[in-house]
Amino acid sequence: MKFGFISAKRRAALLWLVAVAVMLTPVAAHAYAGPGAGFAVLSSFWTLFVAFLYSLYAFLTWPFRHLLRLFRRRKAYGNAKIKRAVILGFDGMDPELTERFIAEGRLPNLAKLREQGTFRKLRTTYPAISPVAWSTFMTGVNPGKHNIYDFLARDTSHYLPYLSSAEIKGPKRTMKLGKYTIPLGKTEIKGMRKGTPFWHWLGKAGIFCSVIRVPVTFPPEKFPGVLLSGMCVPDLKGSQGTFCLCTTRASHGKFREGGVRVAMQRVNGVCQSYIPGPDDPLAAGSELRAEFEVKPDAAAKQARISLDGESVTLKVGEYSEWLPVKFKAGMGFNARGICRFYLKEVSPEVEVYVTPVNIDPGRPDLPISHPVTYSIYLSKLFGPYATLGLAEDTWALNEQVLDDDAFLAQAYGNHEDRERMLFDALEKTQQGLCACVFDTTDRVQHMFWRYLDDDHPAARNLPREQRPQVIQELYARVDVLIGKVMQQIDDKTLLMIVSDHGFKSFARCVNLNAWLHQNGYLALKEGKSESGDWFEDVDWSRTRAYTMGLNGLYLNVKGREREGTVSPGAEAEALKAELCAKLNGLKDPETSGIGITGVFDCDATYAGPYVDNAPDLIVGYGEGFRASWDSVMGKVTTQIFEDNLKAWSGDHCIDPRLVPGVLFSNRKIADEKPAIVDVAPTILKQFGLPLPGHLDGKAWTVA
Amino acid sequence: MPHEMAFAGLFRWNVPLLVVIAISIVIGLVMVLVFAWTSDQKAIRVAKDQLKAHMLAVRLFQDQLGVVLRAYGSLVAGTGRYLKLAFKPLLFVIIPLTFLIIQLDHYLGSTPVETGQPFLVKAQASSIDDIALKLPPELTATAPAVHDATGNEVTWRVVAQRDGAYDVSVAAGGQTAVKRVVVASNIAAVMPKLSSVRLRDQWLDRMLSSAEPALPADSPICAIAVTYPDRSLDFAWIEWNWIWLFFVLSLVAGFAFKSLFGIEI
């Protein structure tokens, strides 16, 4: 019989037989069959040996830990009404849309929760911005006590913005060595969010907590439990996400923000380019780069991408898996991250999109979890995953570098990773708290609201019947996930589904700086009718108010701002009242819509030790409106109102009264007007812990 | 045979330790490459990562007995999966490498008999009544033969006066069989091909331990053996059997090359 005629099964059996025969007939000195066998045996032995050591340690210390745990748990669970709390956060899940889709029969699991448990609108924070609302969610206090008022805060000495959640600084000391500047010490990361997340109280009481991707948890704080940081984790460049478009197409156009265009050189049919990386730690002012090459195959509509010894072949319109990328600085200094490639085009031009370089969760250069090994554990268990806070590249879709499908593929890829993490956390946390926040709901609604609106400026050219039902599918997907979670919980588990805010259309942009300029509150330098980004052409000596970020309006106060003009006290109060009166009800002359439905005095809205860092007023835009892209970046234009033509077509940074979040629970909650600030005290109370006196929220009555 | 010539050429170098080091490095490299080509690298990477994850789970969730026990279970299952993945490349290397080691063992496993030092010659035959040993002039028997009737075995103590390779003859049942004996004075430095036994039949034993032609099938003599001393190599202040040194050095080389080439093992 020819060997080729032997079936695969028999061939395998034959191979096994030969192998077993060889293994069973060794002569003493020949039993070792070289490094191949040695590697396998050693690695396995090592694994088992380490596991054995862990076991031994666990076994020897178990009685003590058990006693301690008994003592702590008796204290912790002594008054507990629940065994476990599962909180699923869906950023931006809107109560009105949810009700609508429930009525359409799209969300059977949420419908079940509504019938058997609770469904309420959840009052959000002022302003209704994710970092603000989630900070309040976790600390149970108002922004005046946790210090987060927006994604950005302003530096009063320069009128420039900085990231409000975390400050990352290079090492304090360096040593000059020729052309190199050697950093001495570690990068310093300082969390700016104040207040104590409720899982810290639970952890201290001996209640185990698994916290996954809750926003504003970077840098991760120590507590007895595991936590993976979410929104506000930077990319390897230190930004909130900078994608890269590598292209052979000649263009000098710069992206407004969020991305860079890199030229690709074609040499003998091979295209060479690079991924811009972080600043060179050894040479100030220069940037590290990771070079890669692309071999396009126009006929097959594919290309082979080689980076750092790894190669991957992609079809046009296909993403790579997460690939490791190493930026070499010399003298042994390296920065490591992960990124994904997306092949956009191979003919006539070659274009490759590269995601922002994420911190590698398996070898994190900056801590993104507590303990550090938790991100490594997840990476080893499920493979590399997005770690960037804003991992779904909305900028790339806004700039039309990615199309709808490519964006959705990326967003849902991340979503599936989070689902895996959630179910692992659920399995590991049979008692205690399991909290996980999904961002997909926020990002997809931001980018696809244009297909939901009847007449959104960004989708006017697309007939209604051709519009994809992206948001409907998103909610259905969320419902399926919730259904799976419901199957995994018992009646001693409290399930809460919360969102930090709702969503509305963003069809019209309001440039508040333009309004302030036209109404005499903000002055430009002589001869200027507009100002560039970050108040480039503003005459501060004649300016009384300005805005930057999404909802904050600031007075140019003497002694606070570098070139303040408004005296604190009566003058400032009068100016605030004047601005409130004028802005409230501001009408869009083109659509007759109300551009601003409320302006809120922060002194009356917030209370706490960090109120001085708050804006002076919070501007609540009307439904369909939001701060313009230019206004957010401190730019002054001539137009106050204009159409929003970007894919980013839905938003929530408006009057918080218009965008409450959702609260679903598997239990009856008596309170009629719950707020996101109440979640922390409610969970603490459910676990039978005393409520710290400084909390602003009130615990709900849960059946 | 060609491979013998190759080894002979190599062993003219005559420094057994250096030979073991060189072979270990080359074999380490070859094995790593063979492992890379014949294994499912991605599956191995995943299997190893999963093992690491389960180990981390034991540490991260150490206060939760259920989780820890499940992690132990997953560790055992994961180790099995990993071994299964490593088995295929093992199949590719185990047979050629076993034969290679057998061949190397003829050169490196033992030293020749030292000149002037007694050694034993043993013969096993179907009948030992008329068995006799015939020595060349350079070799002398120093004691009467010891007969072991239960094992049909006879042992002679012999001393060699001069370096060289000699044939000792054993006669029994009217037939004579020859066995090669190698004698040297500087035994640590030389590496002739040595065969401690010459056998009749016993195909597998011959293949694994003899470097001489088989005795005739109709010969009453089953085996003739010479007790060569085991060779030990002095390396890193430790005396090694060559096979253990090869084990350690080839592993070190393999791990170094795997890192260099980015190969998952």
Measured distance CA(A425)–CA(A199) in Å, rounded: 15
Tell me how far apart the alpha carbons of residues A214 and B243 are, in angstroms, rounded to a whole number: 56
Of A26, A47, A430, the CB nearest to B79: A47
Cβ separation B98–A30 shorter than 8 A: yes
CB contacts of A51 in chain B (<8 Å) are 54-55, 58, 72, 75
Identify from B34, B39, B50, B55 which residue to disrupt to test chain A contact, counting A C-beta atoms within 10 A and taking the largest count: B55
Identity at A543, one-letter amino acid code = T
Least CB-CB distance to B109: which of A29, A42, A374? A29
Q: In A532-619, which ranges are continuous DSSP H helix? A: 570-583, 602-605
**β-strand A493-498 against A504-510: which pairing, if any?**
unpaired
For A682, counting Cβ atoms within 10 Å of its Cβ (0-12 exposed, 13-18 middle, 19+ buried), the class is: buried
What angle separates helix A95-103 from helix A108-116, to the nearest 10 degrees?
100
More confident residue, A558 or A67: A558
- State yes or no: pLDDT of A622 exceeds 70: yes
Q: B34, B94, B100: which to substitute to probe chain A, counting the most A Cβ within 10 Å? A: B94
CA–CA separation, A246 and A230 (whole Å):
28
| Residue-level pLDDT at B13 | 44
- Decide: A479 and A111 in contact? Cβ < 8 Å: no
| Mean pLDDT for all residues in chain B | 87
- Which among A467, A505, A458, A470 is positioned nearest to A647, based on CA atoms? A458
The amino acid occupying position A34 is G
Residues of A in contact with B253 (CB under 8 A): 35
Q: Which residues contact A543 (CB under 8 A, 6 or more apart)?
A: A521, A522, A523, A556, A563, A565
| Structure-model confidence comparison of residues A469 and B235, the more confident one | A469
State if pTM tops 0.90: no
DSSP A368-436: -EESHHHHHHHHHHH-----STT-S-HHHHHTTSS-HHHHHHHHHHHHHHHHHHHHHHHHH-SSEEEEE
Residue type, A314: L
Quick one: pLDDT at residue A533? 92
Structure tokens at A248: 């052979």
Q: How far is CA A642 from the centre of its chain?
A: 29
pLDDT of residue A350: 97
The helix (H) or strand (E) run that includes residue A105 is none
Number of Cβ within a 10 Å radius of residue A302: 16
Round to whole Å and give the CA distance between A151 and A73. Answer: 38
Contacts of A374 in chain B (CB under 8 A): 60
Assigned token pair, A115: 């019938």
For residue A15, the distance in angstroms to the closest alpha carbon of chain B comes to 8
Q: Contact B241/A29, CB-based, under 8 Å?
A: yes
Residue A245 main-chain phi, psi, to 5 deg? -110, 110
Contacts of B29 in chain A (CB under 8 A): none
A39 vs B35: CB contact, 8 Å cut-off? Answer: yes
Going by C-alpha positions, the residue among A243, A246, A276 that lies closest to residue A263 is A246
Picking from B40, B50, B58, B102 by the largest number of A CB atoms within 10 A of its own CB, the best residue to mutate is B58
pLDDT of residue A584: 97
Let me know if A112 is exposed, middle or buried by CB neighbors in 10 A (0-12, 13-18, 19+).
middle
Q: How far away is chain A from the Cα of B195, in angstroms, using its nearest Cα?
A: 15
* Residue among A601, A607, A605, A598 at smallest CA distance from A625: A598
- β-pairing, A504-510 vs A624-627, is parallel
- The C-alpha atoms of residue A626 and residue A505 are separated, in whole angstroms, by 9
**Spatial separation of the C-alpha atoms in residues A40 and A34, rounded to whole Å:** 10
How is residue A81 annotated by DSSP? Answer: S
Condensed to tens digits (0 to 9), the pLDDT of residues B52-79 reads 999 999 889 988 888 988 998 898 899 8
Mutate which: B54, B98, B99, vs A, most A CBs within 10 A = B98
pLDDT digits (tens, 9 = 90+) for A527-546: 999 999 999 999 999 999 99
| Predicted local distance difference test score (pLDDT) of residue B155 | 96
Q: Which residues of chain A have a CB within 8 Å of the CB of B58?
A: 51, 54-55, 58
pLDDT tens profile B127-152 = 888 899 999 999 999 999 999 988 89
Testing the interface with A: which of B45, B51, B261, B263 to mutate, by most A Cβ within 10 A?
Answer: B51
* Nearest residue, CB atoms, B91 vs list A15, A38, A428: A15
- SS3 sequence of chain B: CHHHHHHHHHHCCCCHHHHHHHHHHHHHHHHHHHHHHHCCHHHHHHHHHHHHHHHHHHHHCCCCHHHHHHHHHHHHHHHHHHHHHHHHHHHHHHHHHHHHHHHHHHHHCECCEECCCCEEEEEEECCCCCCEEECCCCEEECCCCEEECCCCEEEEEEEECCCEEEEEEEEECCEEEEEEEEEECCCCCCCCCCCCEEECCCHHHHHHHCCCCCCCCCCCEEEEEECCCECCEEECCEEECHHHHHHHHHHHHHHHHHHHHCCCC
Name the H helices within A140-285: 143-146, 198-204
pLDDT score recorded for residue A356: 97
CB contact under 8 A, B49 and A15: no
* pLDDT tens sequence across A205-257: 989 999 999 999 999 999 999 999 999 999 999 899 999 999 999 877 788 77
**With an 8 Å Cβ cutoff, are B208 and A33 in contact?**
no
**Residue A33: predicted pLDDT:** 45
Residue with tokens 């570690």: A186
Task: Give contacts of A226 with chain B, Cβ < 8 Å.
Answer: 60-61
Q: What is the pLDDT of residue B14?
A: 53
Give me the pLDDT at residue A218, please: 95
Among residues of chain B, what percentage have pLDDT more than 70? 95
Give the Cβ contact number of residue A345 at 10 Å: 19
Mean pLDDT of A568-575: 97
Question: Which pLDDT band holds residue A642 (cuts at 50, 70, 90)?
Answer: very high
10 Å CB burial of residue A520 (0-12, 13-18, 19+) is exposed
Cα–Cα dist B37/A490, whole Å: 49
Run of H or E including A300 = none
As a whole number of angstroms, the distance between CA A396 and CA A648 comes to 11
CA nearest A66 in B: which residue?
B63
Contact assessment for residue A273 and residue A264, using Cβ atoms and an 8 Å cutoff? yes
Instruction: Tell me the chain A residues in contact with residue B263 when contact means C-beta distances shorter than 8 Å.
Output: none
Of B168, B185, B187, B166, residue with least CA distance to B177: B168
Burial class (CB in 10 A: 0-12, 13-18, 19+), A477: middle
Instruction: Please write the tens of the pLDDT for every residue from B227-256.
Output: 999 998 888 888 888 989 998 999 899 889
A634 and A666 Cβ atoms separated by less than 8 Å: no
Q: Note the pLDDT tens digit of each residue in A21-61.
A: 444 444 433 334 445 555 555 555 566 666 667 666 766 77
Give the helix, strand, coil percentages of chain A, each rounded to 5: 35, 25, 40
- The per-residue pLDDT for A38 is 55
pLDDT at residue number A377: 98
The H or E element containing residue A60 is helix A35-77
CB contact under 8 A, A29 and B105: yes
Q: How large is the average pLDDT for residues A287-315? A: 95
* Closest Cβ–Cβ partner in B63, B72, B254 for A39: B254
Which residues of chain B have a CB within 8 Å of the CB of A24? none
Which residues does residue A547 pair with via DSSP β-bridges, in sequence order?
A553
Q: Which residues of A touch B197 (CB under 8 A)?
A: none
Q: Highest-confidence range of A229-238, A277-286, A510-519, by mean pLDDT?
A: A510-519
Which residues from A are below 8 Å from B254, CB to CB? 35, 38-39
For residue A17, what pLDDT is reported?
Answer: 52
CB contact (8 A) between residue A373 and residue B254: no
- Tell me phi and psi for residue A289, to 5 degrees: -135, 145
- Phi–psi pair at B49, nearest 5 degrees: -60, -40
pLDDT at A52: 66
- A662: which strand partners? A121
- pLDDT, position A13: 53
Q: How far is B58 from chain A (nearest CA, A)?
A: 7
